Structure 1
């Protein structure tokens, strides 16, 4: 290129650049607004679990049945396994779309082995079904029908005591040369004084430290886990409720867990450790998947012989419940599961505990099904059956284990009649029967059905975190807590007062992410005032419970 042309081009470019620099800049293309993401709930860090509870055990809705009292198939007045099988649709019909069944997914049978007494806790033969209840084949049918409906089955595993009519004890009694002499603990050389449950002579305690006794106990467990004898331990009994666990050493339970979990890792071992939280905590690692929450029970009802006491009767503030839950965190292994209950076969029934006040019974049930842990329902609890321990003249716990009330008249197909003294707790036409309540949407039975459906439909209540919510303004009678996971935020508010109550909840001090939130009561479907976080004020009717689903809007 000629130098003159180059100079001319260069000058032109310089002028163009100068002109561009002096010209007003074009308006920039607006960028789309950046959405501000909502904060999401983050679980608090938790330790690596010391034990792994089967998933079904963490989502368990357990129903406790005394077979003798539940349903009679042959008209002899005594409940049996076939009668229970006939009534399974009442417990769970296998169809999640229906609402006429109770909806439980696990069944605990009080002892079904051949025994000397009506209750079955004094076993005579661990390898035979109680003839009053039927046969092994009847049990196989029951388990198959349960599994078809999605119900797991737990047997009462009673190895801490046997009957004094058990053949091994009869051989050892007064016979130091017996091959079973060291199966029991003797207090004299003649082998006539011995260790027994609660010092009751009719129920001697086997020596669980004896390897032969341990092997016998394992043989019993293996026998019932493989019901049909085909060598498959995964399609029979699903779990063992280990009675009076304090009677055996930790080494015994560790061996039981090690050997049975090798046969079926999905087996649930549920321990009855009737003691303090500190003591219960020592039975988790390498032993039980779950235990009964006796510390919580004592907060709720005060005593298994009591009526009119504890949190359930508005005597103690509901904040005591939180204290019981804190004991779990302090003493239990990471991943430990608890079975929570209002009553069982060894306590006064909850309706008697609250002295017949159905409002208190409903509030207690709402608490039960929204707390962390696996809820237990004792047969007849859902219809409000009463039961208080007798004075032993001549009956004791029979009054707590009365026949299941199927009919208003206490008479009809399947109704058991084995225990009907004139002073029994439950009577005809008292409003307490399945027949009288099943079609009434306002009944206690309907309330239990709704709560169990709620627990099924919202896994957050089974698996989510628990966090107490401070009541910044209001009486101590209001107890509130959050149940949260990545899928849902649920706010539970309970009013343990007979008066309408205003309360302000301090949600700003919790892990609940900032709102705004809508609030819908999952029990009634009612919409409550929305909230933005921070202070949330509510007006609560007497003895009321809310389970609020919080959704952003």
Structure 2
């Protein structure tokens, strides 16, 4: 209902000719600089982590009420990371992102009524503290979804604000004597107003009337935001995913007045500085669903703070589109062009946050039609990109969308096994399982070497086994011009060089030659039948079967 707002966004504009990149061969002419992204500045954990996004309501039920909860999540932590690097039965992720767990009247939790209370369906504050302790013991961090753009209309702050024009919290929200008629800023064709009537006046709520926007121009509200962040960092959280980060402070109608305003950027600088002062290695992850140039601005300035003084990570929505397109079409040209645009737009040394889909998107398996080869390609692309990869729960086993058209269908219960409750619950699940659960389940794939789950595990292990693949820079070897049936790049960290080659299509392909130093190639990950790279006078070449990936450390 309300989270699908993003689907109305217009596509990113085509890249202009001013973006530099290789012209026509795998080895770019010397006259044109290669597409090269520097390694992220700083060594903080979040600059090279693999995150796992969890909708707690759908992950694991511990008490039989059909709703996932924190104790249930704790019971599944060893599946995510058992804390032992020598084992291969866990996924191996480095951090968990929990979708909203605060008290809320809705199933999704993006309309908060109490920022300091765990949703009763999910458990208690003690459960949350135990989750953080158990995750930390296994080497995982925990970040929370923090909604600062708006609250629920049932929040006591708003109830007080709406009660009277002279209320002490009147200016905690944005009020007008008239309906100003501003249209939503994400769709020029949208109808309706972002102003909503209550007690003879109108309040601003960019998404809908049940989620009034907080007035972050008010010093007391900004102070409350800082206090809430300190509260959860003190409870064990390691940072926050920031919902609707583009829309915090408005100064007028239209896109320019309601999104990406200078006042919004100023708030994030202030908020980020506070979070760093409380917990220097805490991370802020921005949800800025927009174009690459606009996303780039949310890192802020790198002059004084390595990696940026606003948000340390920003979800790369345009790259997500291109990764899925490449997996679907067998053509990596869009990925190559997007990497070129990132090189020209992103501040040097910032950390990217690539992903495939999330709770607002149609799931990867549905978008790719359940095609096993395309799903394998998507996983390989995601987990070899630079930065901090985000995996949506169930993506690693190919969970599809549910059968309805609402947002709940993107957030269906996790399928663990073939039992009636799918290992998720011994009761009736809060929402129906997605179709395809016979094969898109953990138990069926855990011990199958060729399964999608095994692929995710293997790729994450390969990342952890290589500093270059985990945190290094990226130099694109594939041309940005014309169709690209293979996508190749080299990842570098110090003296380590790792060659990554993806065959995106359904036919055998030979990639190269690539003029790279090295006398031998040590395999870090390779699909069956992938040949070893061959070195000749022209450089390294490799032949890959359909939908295959090879990753080698060059020595």
- Given the two structures, how large is their TM-score scaled by the length of structure 2? 0.81
Match of 2:512 in 1: 505
Confirm or deny: 8 A CA contact 1:474 1:504 kept in the other structure.
no
Q: Which residue in 1 is equivalent to 2:44? A: 55
Alpha-carbon shift at residue 197 of structure 1 (Å): 3.2
Task: Name the SS of the counterpart of 2:490 in structure 1.
Answer: strand
| Map 1:185-204 → 2, pairs under 5 A | 185-188=174-177, 192-198=201-207, 200-204=208-212
| Cα distance in 2, alignment partners of residues 219 and 83 from structure 1 | 29
Largest Rg, 1 or 2: 1
Give the deviation of 1:332 after TM superposition: 2.0
**Matched pairs, number:** 476
The answer to whether the aligner puts 1:378 opposite 2:381 as a matched pair is no
Answer whether contact 1:403 1:417 (CA < 8 A) is retained.
no
1:220 partnered with 2:228: yes
Match of 1:241 in 2: 241
Structure 1 contact 60–375 (Cα < 8 Å) conserved? yes
1:405 to 403, 408, 415: 415
State the shift of 1:121 in Å. Answer: 0.3
Deviates more, 1:132-141 or 1:261-270: 261-270
Q: Determine whether 1:517 maps to 2:520.
A: yes
Counterparts of residues 164-175 of structure 1 (less than 5 Å):
164-173=153-162, 175=164
The one of 259, 280, 291 equivalent to 1:276 is 291
Distance in 2, Cα, partners of 1:48 & 1:499: 33
Which string of whole-angstrom CA distances, capped at 9 and with x for unpartnered residues, describes residues 489-525 of structure 1?
2211112211222x341423xxx22x43346362348
Q: CA deviation at 1:538?
A: 3.3
Q: 1:460 — aligned with what? A: 468
Give the secondary structure class of the aligned counterpart of 1:197. coil
Answer with 347-356 or 188-197: which moved more: 188-197
TM superposition shift of 1:237: 0.9
Provide the C-alpha distance between the structure 2 equivalents of 1:281 and 1:521, rounded to a whole number of angstroms.
32
Query: Kindly tell me: are residues 96 and 204 of structure 1, through their superposed partners in 2, closer, same or farther at Cα, counting changes over 3 Å?
Result: same
Contact residue 471 and residue 504 of structure 1 kept, 8 A: no
The 1:206/1:467 distance shift into structure 2, 3 A limit, reads: same
Structure 1 residue 463, shift from structure 2 partner: 1.8
2: CA distance, partners of 1:550 / 1:533: 16
| Superposition deviation, residue 86 in structure 1 | 0.8
Residues 180 and 475 of structure 1, relative CA distance in 2, 3 Å threshold: closer
Distance in 2 between residues matched to 1:467 and 1:533, nearest whole Å? 21
Contact 2:37-2:474 at 8 Å conserved across structures: no
- Tell me which residue corresponds to 1:140: 129
3-state SS, counterpart of residue 340 of structure 1: coil
Evaluate the alpha carbon distance shift between residue 258 and residue 271 of structure 1 in structure 2; reply closer, same or farther with a 3 A threshold.
same
Q: RMSD in angstroms over aligned alpha carbons? A: 2.5
User: What's the secondary structure of 1:516's corresponding residue?
Assistant: coil
Q: State the match for 1:450 in structure 2.
A: 458
Aligned equivalent of 1:542: 546
Alignment check: 8 A CA contact 1:519 1:527 kept:
no
1:22-421 to structure 2, matched below 5 A, reads: 55-173=44-162, 175-188=164-177, 192-198=201-207, 200-227=208-235, 236-248=236-248, 249-285=264-300, 286-301=309-324, 310-314=325-329, 317-387=331-401, 390-391=404-405, 396-411=406-421, 414-415=424-425, 417-421=428-432
Deviation, structure 1 residue 321: 0.8
What is the deviation of 1:186? 2.0
Distance 1:266 1:177, change over 3 A: same
| CA pair 545-78 structure 1, distance change in 2 beyond 3 A | same
How far residue 298 of structure 1 moved from its aligned partner, in angstroms, is: 2.4
CA distance in 1, matches of 2:482, 2:152: 55
Shift of 1:469: 1.4
| TM superposition shift of 1:270 | 1.2
Which residue is 1:33 aligned to? none
Q: Is the 8 A contact 2:58 2:411 kept in 1?
A: yes
What is the TM-score with the length of structure 1 in the denominator?
0.81
Q: CA deviation at 1:183?
A: 1.3
8 A Cα contact 2:206 2:212, kept in partner: yes
Deviation at residue 532 of structure 1 after TM alignment: 3.9
**What are the superposed Cα offsets for residues 333-384 of structure 1, whole Å, 9 maximum, x if unpaired?**
2221111101111101111110110110001101111111211111100111
1:298–1:464 CA distance, 2 compared to 1 (3 A): same
Q: Which segments of 5 or more consecutive residues in structure 2 lack a partner in the other structure?
A: 1-33, 179-198, 249-263, 301-308
Q: Relative CO higher for 1 or 2, CA cutoff 8 Å, sep ≥ 6?
A: 2
Are the structure 2 counterparts of residues 127 and 153 from structure 1 closer, same or farther at C-alpha, using a change threshold of 3 Å? same
